[in-house]
Structure 1
């Protein structure tokens, strides 16, 4: 019996194994294997180099732009400032952390890239991590310097053993060697850093670009001058060359040459920047490369020809909305105002257009008022210097309460009435600009009404309304007249206009119409 039971169990297990290997089950297993997810992880697309903080090596969560034009993670900049450390970047430049402003355009671009590449939005790193990273960089920099000192000492001892008796000689040579040794490059990165390829690996390059870069970094001035002349000639007419040659390495080479003490080197370098900036896709890249500060210096103390090109470059870069705030923060406004007054005709023309586009941003309008530009501009209008261009700038300044108050303080309304009531020699476009500025100032409340009534604005606008040909100018004149004549019949209370003339009520206006002067944008043209 036991043997029979054992045989039955063996047959049962054998049949059960056959059931598990039926064709239906085999196909089910194959189908399941085919649908199983692959074990290998998908390859993640690396972010663009400009999205990576040069200090932390991570995708920036809160990017900021500093005075030198570079962009960093805010926590990295704060750690460097707290630990009194200025790093040297991979292209050999050192950033200036004196001014820090949010880089909203870059933050938006990073967010869009993360969404498109299905990458999680980066989170700001903890300050302790960035502090430790900066300490590591400081230690790495000090170690490299100490190694350089020891290496120089060993070489001296090997070459001349007798110098052991004169320790001061070895120390002095070691000190000079360490001072010429550049600080440690930013190679040390903590474990949380994103490992990204270098900019030279990410950027497409051509043999033509490499040849230009090699010559621009030559030690011979005549080689640099010849290369700049060829680059300037090529980028003047060739649109494709302007796009392919505008790389970080090329801009880094031009940045040093824009600050050159050799006149023709500086002139041709700035002219090359102007040509590269003609392409819209290059404008933000040029500002981020740190070229704005040397362009400002060229405008301040360069030769007249260099100043002409520098003002043209700043005008071209200011056409991009993402650049306006950064250019103002980097200190371009005072030199542009000075160049508008005393520069050559071309410099003044481009400076006026640059100021017009920069003053579309409220932060720049505030800066221009604080540096005292309003009296200077109104003085130019009264003396007939670039009246049309200057009125465009004043129209933008009048969009802010501080600008309106400053213009009312220095007699802008009286000046505009004088132009409107002038002879037929005053061009029609000038009168339309006067109407536009008056319309902007009319948002200044009771103080404007008091000043305008005393200056005879109603009579001047009634005359101008018949002379100006633009429908937009006629509409603005009509609105100002309605505001001036409104409620005169219904007003029972007496208004002390003399008191209003001396008051500062214009600065208390609650009406902000920043875009009212945008109609004059059509008078500008790209050179």
Structure 2
């Protein structure tokens, strides 16, 4: 501690010295009309030194006084270097060293932002980045308190105030620490305990509680080992589908993300589709909210890998909705990809066989810089137009002016070249002008 006090005192003394020096220089700039460039540069230099001094003070552990290699956040909200604060806790201390606050738990959550700032500062100043605390596998270790974590899950059947506090903490822990996502399913019937408040309807008047619980649910699915456990629970998927319709936009978005993650398996895709997910997912996309639309599109794309689900979305009007959004210029790349997926179904081909749609796709090919989007557009044209003489003539006429297909044949991706070549060959046999 003595070394730490000396280090802190030195840093504090240097900061005060720079402040006084800056004050003197600024006074000259303010008082003198004809101050030179030298004094301006001096002020800038002092400010730079002061900035470095303040930053290094913030980057130093309050206990050791050294620049932190593995900054972690204590339950008090203050940041310490892991080895130092762990030693403090191991010695039986249950208070925060700085605030003296009694700790609600002893979990140490990595402060990733401070770690990145320290790394960036060190590299910029030619200083070696302090080594972080690592486990035997070379990965960042995260401490967790099973008793504390279990107590949070248990509070899901307590008072509304306790539920809200526990839900917020569960969301935070499962977001920041992989170890909590892994340990969650070691408890007895964890899913029922987590989603109990939603099933009971106690969140209807508290959207924030619902958002925290659904986000926790989504976080748990990041661990692939949890997928089957969730899918096998009879209430899990219906709850996520219900949450697509009600709650904050963050709740609805995260429910879509969770369903998208669960759709990595074909059996689960079919299960989710049969449980009623297509309609609320399409409605979420139709509403066009920026933070939810992309996740809804991703979930629909994953669902449509399964043929029966693809048909469900088409029958619900997905093609019309997607084309409307594309014409509005919203998420064009993502939605064109989804239309390409749907265009392999005969019912979608009928809806896409309109002149405006063909002209729209050709226009996107000319204007977009995305090779993947060009590829998807020509794939849609191939699926829709190859056996329709009328639509092939539209492409032929357009080709006389713009040579859209011809350019793809020369410069497109391998798949785009194949589709464009097939269309051009068919058109060449039907009409005299070669694209």
Does TM-score exceed 0.5, indicating one fold? yes
**Is the CA contact (8 Å cut-off) linking 2:411 and 2:417 kept in structure 1?**
no
* Equivalent runs, 1:51-90 vs 2, <5 Å: none
Q: CA shift at 1:437, angstroms?
A: 2.1
Q: Which structure is larger by alpha-carbon Rg, 1 or 2?
A: 1
Structure 1 residue 386, shift from structure 2 partner: 0.9
Q: 1:232–1:271: 8 Å Cα contact kept in structure 2?
A: yes
**Aligned counterpart, 1:495:** none
Q: 1:258 to 1:235 in 2, by over 3 A?
A: same
Residue aligning to 2:283 = 338
Aligned positions, number: 277
Q: Which SS does the other structure have where 2:245 is aligned?
A: helix
**Structure 1 residue 249: Cα displacement:** 1.6
Match of 2:172 in 1: 233
Aligned residues of 1:420 and 1:460 also touching (Cα < 8 A): yes
Q: Is the 8 A contact 2:157 2:196 kept in 1?
A: no
Residue number in structure 2 paired with 1:376: 321
Segments of structure 2 that go 5 or more residues without pairing to the other structure are: 1-145
What is the alpha-carbon distance in structure 2 between the residues aligned to residue 303 and residue 340 of structure 1?
A: 15
1:243-262 equivalences in 2 (<5 Å): 243-246=182-185, 249-258=189-198, 260-261=203-204, 262=206
Q: Does 1:440 align with 2:377?
A: no
SS, match of residue 329 in structure 2: coil
Instruction: Tell me, yes or no, if structure 1 residue 211 matches structure 2 residue 151.
Output: yes
Q: Indicate the residue corresponding to 2:225 in structure 1.
A: 281
Maintained 8 Å contact 1:284/1:322: no
CA distance in 1, matches of 2:288, 2:160: 28
Deviation at 1:221, TM superposition (A): 1.1
TM-align CA RMSD: 2.5
CA contact (8 A) 2:240 2:255 kept: yes
Q: 2:406 aligns with which of 442, 462, 471?
A: 462
Which residue of structure 1 lines up, in the alignment, with residue 359 of structure 2?
Answer: 414
What aligned pairs does 1:239-318 form with structure 2 within 5 A after superposition?
Answer: 239-246=178-185, 249-258=189-198, 260-261=203-204, 262-289=206-233, 290-318=235-263
Superposed displacement of residue 208, structure 1: 5.4
Q: Deviations over 1:357-413 (max 9, x none)?
A: 111111011101111111111111122111111111111111111222222258432
CA-CA distance at 1:487 after TM superposition: 7.1
Native 8 Å contact 1:374 1:406 kept in 2: yes
Residue pair 1:369, 1:406 contacting (<8 A) in 2 also = no
For residues 315-344 of structure 1, the C-alpha deviation after alignment (integer angstroms, 9 at most, x for no partner) is 222233331111111111121112113243
How much does 1:346 deviate? 1.8
What secondary structure does 2:189 align onto?
A: helix
Q: What is the CA distance between 1:237 and its match in structure 2?
A: 3.2
Tell me by how many angstroms 1:355 deviates: 0.8
- TM-score normalized by structure 1? 0.49
| SS of equivalent residue, structure 1 residue 227 | helix
Unaligned runs of 5+ in 1: 1-205, 490-527
Equivalent of 1:395 in 325, 331, 340: 340
Aligned to 2:4: none
The TM-score normalised by the length of structure 2 is 0.58
- Structure 2 partner of 1:196: none
Question: Are 2:167 and 1:222 equivalent residues in the alignment?
Answer: no
Deviations 1:65-117 (A, max 9, x none): xxxxxxxxxxxxxxxxxxxxxxxxxxxxxxxxxxxxxxxxxxxxxxxxxxxxx
Alpha-carbon offset, residue 486 of structure 1: 4.5
Distance 1:221 1:315, change over 3 A: same
Matches of 1:343 and 1:256, distance apart in 2: 31
Seen in structure 2, the aligned counterparts of structure 1 residues 280 and 484 have a Cα distance that, compared at 3 Å, is farther
- Do the aligned partners of residues 271 and 467 (structure 1) sit closer, same or farther apart at CA in structure 2, a change above 3 Å counting? same
